[in-house]
Structures are given as C-alpha cells and as structure tokens.
Amino acid sequence: MRIAVPLDLSPEAARPPGGVLASFGGPTMGVAWSVTAAAPQGFDTAGVQAQVQGLLNRIVGQMSTWEPDADISRFNALPAGGWIDMPAAFAHVLARSLHWAKLSGGAFDPTAGRLVDLWGFGPAGAVGAPPSRPRLDEALSACGWDRLAVDGARAYQPGGLSLDFSGIAKGFAVDEVSRALTVLGLPHHLVEIGGELRGQGTKPDGQPWWADIEAPPEAPLPGGPIRVALHGLSIATSGDYRRSFTHAGRRYAHTLDPRTGEPVRHGLRAVTVLDRTCIDADALCTVLGVLGPADGPVFAQAHDLAAYFLLEDGEILSPRLAAMMD
C-alpha cells in the first residue's frame, strides 16, 4: 500500500474532534451522494440531510441537461442572439469551465453538448454505432467555447451552442455540500457524489478520511494501491471503463476530445487528480484524460498538479503526487 498525504499537513490538523460518526445521503444527478461526518452526540443529522438534499436539487435545477426546465436547458434552447441571466452557482461553474477550456487549448469544452448527445452519452439516449462523418462535422461546427460570450451574470447564445457541465458539475456540488456542512455545524466530514470525494478535517479519533485511487475492476494499479489522506483535499477520477459502447469490435469510451469530436484513443485507462477543490479536480480529470499519456503529464507538471495516470501498460505519477508519497 502506497500512502499520499497533503504536503502542508500540520500537527494541529490531526487533533481529534471527538463525537461520533454519522452517515447519511440520497440521490442526485443520476447517482448517489453520501456524507460521513464527525457529529456531536444527539446532533440533528436528519435536518442537515434535508438541507443538503435541497441544495443538490437546486444545483440539478440549474445544471442538468436531463431537466428541460433547468437553466442550462433553457440556454441551449435559446435562438441565436439570445441572452440568459445566470444564477451565481451557474455563472461560477461556467467561469471555471471556460478557465480550463482556455488553459487546455480546448481539451475541456463546456459547449460540447451536441457531441455528448451524438455519441449517446447525454439525455438524447444511448446509441449502438458511431455517428456518420457528416453528422459529426455538423455537431463539431456547433461547438466552441470561444463562441460563448459572457457579460457579467448573462450568457450569450450565438446559435446552436449546447452547454454540458457533466465534466464539472459533480465536483462543484461536492464543494458546495462541503461548505454547507461546515456552516451547519459539521466541519469534519467526507463528501462523495458519484465517485468524486472531498475530505475536510478528520474522523472523531483524529484519523484522516482515507480514499483509494480508483482502479478498473479487472486491472489493479501496477505499482500497488495508493491510499490518500483527504485532509482539505478532493479526489476525482475519469476512466475509459466507466461508460462506453462497442460496435464492430471496437469500444468507444465516453471521454470525448472536443477538438476532434471523437472518443479518445491513446492507451490511457484512467486519470485521477487531487486538488483543494473538487470542481477543479473534476474538470482536470477530463483535461488530462483528453490530453493523453504524452501531453497530460506535461500539463500536470507545468501546473503543479497531483495527478495519477493509469496506462494500458504502466503508470505515471506527476512530481507533485510523488512528493506527497515521499
């Protein structure tokens, strides 16, 4: 077992908060959410659970393309030249999306909704075969993060642009739940939404919230498991084994390269990113997964990211992640 801990961990960080472990959760975004927290004896976790569920329902009501009345769906339905007023949360997620889109040269693109649908990974439903070249070219021409204009709290629809936050919204939701728990009196907690996690504080006995870097069911990590102490850290993983379809003997994974419009094909099985915020960890998994085993580690080192790359024939650890394991 390999162990990774935050580089700025202080002795005070492990001071036991006491109390008891409390767990609760519910459904959101087509997956499950869960919280484990150090709670005082007799704490009203049922009340906190209801407030967290309400918070997540509001996020879904803004950012889910599966909801026809969501803000994101209303934007996608706008005619060319239309504007939409964005709630603060929506505007923040869009801003972080555009940040990583620009920094990655389009490896992350929140306007790739048409491509997501075309390949059967969106609300339009699954497909059994890849799209024709003309349909793919048409969808590609409708994408482009640099076509999207933002003016304060308003976003501009240039025509045919389809936003999709599936590569970042879960991470944002994890961060929002973590912030809410602290305000509601549970500052020591572990939050998970569909495999994206954030740990804050410690368990009642002072032990950290541990999480293992995810491996495909049939392929353990080549160098052995890696266990991470999530103290003020988030972890997110994107893998080619999570969603895919097979046609004519070839498997098409859900990680799409917005620059080509096609699923990636470069021998990278999965990417895991550790970051202070889950919104960035979530987005960066996609960035590095699209960039692949050659350009991904270069990007990770240039931006001092703690990243793990699982290849078909090995693994790569970014320098920052390696430093966390020394």
Tens-place pLDDT, residues 59-85: 999 999 999 999 999 999 999 999 999
Rg (CA), the chain: 20
- The reply to whether 102 falls in a domain is yes
Residue type, 132: S
Domain residue limits at 139: 82-157
210 within some domain: no
With both helix axes pointing from N to C terminus, report the angle between 45-63 and 169-183 in degrees, rounded to the nearest 10: 150
Give how far the C-alpha of residue 322 lies from the chain's centroid of Cα atoms, to the nearest Å.
22
Q: Give the pLDDT of residue 262.
A: 83
Question: How many angstroms separate the CA atoms of 51 and 198, rounded?
Answer: 18
**Residue 188 falls within a domain, yes or no?**
no
How sure is the predictor about 126, in pLDDT bands with cuts at 50, 70 and 90?
confident
* pTM listed for this prediction: 0.94
Helix, coil or strand: residue 193: strand
In a domain, 305, yes or no: no
**Cα dihedral sign, 218-274-108-31:** positive
Residues 268-298 pLDDT 10s: 989 999 999 999 999 999 999 999 999 999 9
Q: How many domains does the chain have?
A: 1
Is the residue at 22 inside a domain?
no
pLDDT band at 220 (very low <50, low <70, confident <90, very high): confident
Does residue 139 lie within any of the structural domains? yes
Indicate whether 148 belongs to any domain. yes
The Cα 211–Cα 323 span in angstroms is 18
Residues 174-196 have a mean pLDDT of 96
Residue 232 near residue 200 (C-beta atoms within 8 A):
yes
> The CATH number of the domain where 120 resides is what?
1.10.3980.10
319 within a domain of the structure (yes/no): no
What's the mean per-residue pLDDT of the chain? 91
